[in-house]
Amino acid sequence: MTKSISPRKSELLSAKPRINAGRKPTPFHPRQVEKCETNDWTLWAGYSVPNSYHSVELEYFSIRNGATLYDISPMCKYRIKGPDAERFMNRFVPRDVKKIKPGRVAYAIWCNDEGHILDDGTIFRFGPDDFRLCSQERQYAWLMDSALGFNVEILDETDDIAALQFQGPTTFAILEAMGIKGVETLKPFDHKNFPFAGTELMVSRTGFTGDLGYELWIEPGKALELWDALMAAGADRTISPIGSLALDMARIEAGFIQPTVDFLHAEHVVRHTRGRSPFELGLDWQVDFGKGHFTGRRALLKEKEGNSSRYCFVGLEIEGNKPAHNALVYHKQKKEIGHITSAVWSPTMKNNLAMALLQRPFGVDIQEDLWVEIYVDKELKWDRVMAKAKIVDRPFFNPPRKRLTPPARF
């Protein structure tokens, strides 16, 4: 007679951490499970990815001092090809896509008819009529609706491409040690294909940390081979995987905005007034009125000509060392004028940093005497601190090494 084991006991006997039912593992999941000591997972676009592996602080320092692997396979990837591909992309996003040359990558936002941002992401250009759009959220329905009248083919490639963010000062030296010949010629925002393990590895000099780094794109069947090759080549250069929490610290230092954190997707808000325009998020440089029509152009032109933007997005340095998570911002400690969207105590810069959405004219015409209300938990005793803040330029962290071509061999 077979002896049965209770589900709970079976779970305790299991040597591997478990993920919630219904979540898909990425192609790198077998290696992540081996490394994820905290068993702290989160959901991203239907996939399970680690929040952390062992220590958020140590993972953060690996970004700034070594090389790190962060799984971006869940990122939504859409291939857009056809005779009208360039014309369609120029209609879809506010920036001028004609200026993006083949072999280049560009940051982009896209808006609804009210001029409110739906999402942001990157555009990869492979040829005159061949693009890939990458985004955090699912955009297939919006893309298909927007493509009416255009001779384009739109393919969802999300599950067909495994991808890693490979970030940190030693990343170039590791790729070189792997035998990726020619990677030294990549300038920031370049992308190029290289032979690897009988297939092609696409390397783009892009990332979300504001540091030297790359993103690596490969077919799922070769994902584990890529992971193992990177770990072997980086054994002497402090290589380690990182989770979402450490990456978030680095992206705030870099001054990058994050959907669902610094702004809400216009199609997801319950109240339409909660949408934000590019001008309200400091993304004026993304809007090119001279290129012709694009979705949201009329609303954005009206906003610009009428100087009717409601908000101003700013970077702040704040006194003290307590991060101002979700804090309110005041003028002269009395008038509430906005709130903090992202905050971090920067271990590298030894500074208290934040990004905030302020009600105009604050942040534009009025920039002095700003204060942030921070509540500090001291062993279940909450102290209220009013900390002085000043507006500063972003990025907060901007090392020369991220721009050097060829990069330094740390």
Query: What are the tens digits of pLDDT across the range 312-325?
Result: 999 999 999 999 99
Half-sphere exposure of 68 (CA within 13 A, CB side): 29
pLDDT for 23 = 83
Residue 170 pLDDT: 98
Beta bridge partners of 386: 373
Domains and their CATH numbers in the chain? 19-73+161-253 (3.30.1360.120), 76-159 (3.30.70.1400), 311-395 (2.40.30.110)
pLDDT of residue 324: 97
Binned average pLDDT, 10 residues per bin, the chain of 410 residues: 37 40 86 96 94 97 98 97 98 98 98 96 98 95 96 97 98 97 97 97 98 98 98 95 98 97 93 94 98 97 97 98 96 98 97 98 97 94 96 97 96
The token pair that represents 277 in the structure block: 């325009």
For position 233, what pLDDT does the model report? 97
Q: At what angle are helices 244-253 and 56-65 packed, to 10 degrees?
A: 50
For the chain, give the percent of residues with pLDDT over 90.
91
SS3 33: helix
Q: Give the residue from 137, 131, 129, 12 showing the smallest Cα distance to 74.
A: 137
Quote the pLDDT of residue 22: 56
CA atoms within a 13 Å half-sphere pointing along the CA-CB vector of 146:
25
| Residue 202: both structure tokens together | 């696409």
pLDDT recorded at residue 19:
43
Render pLDDT for 334-345 as a digit per residue (tens, 0 to 9). 999 999 999 999
The tokens describing 310, both together, are 């409601």
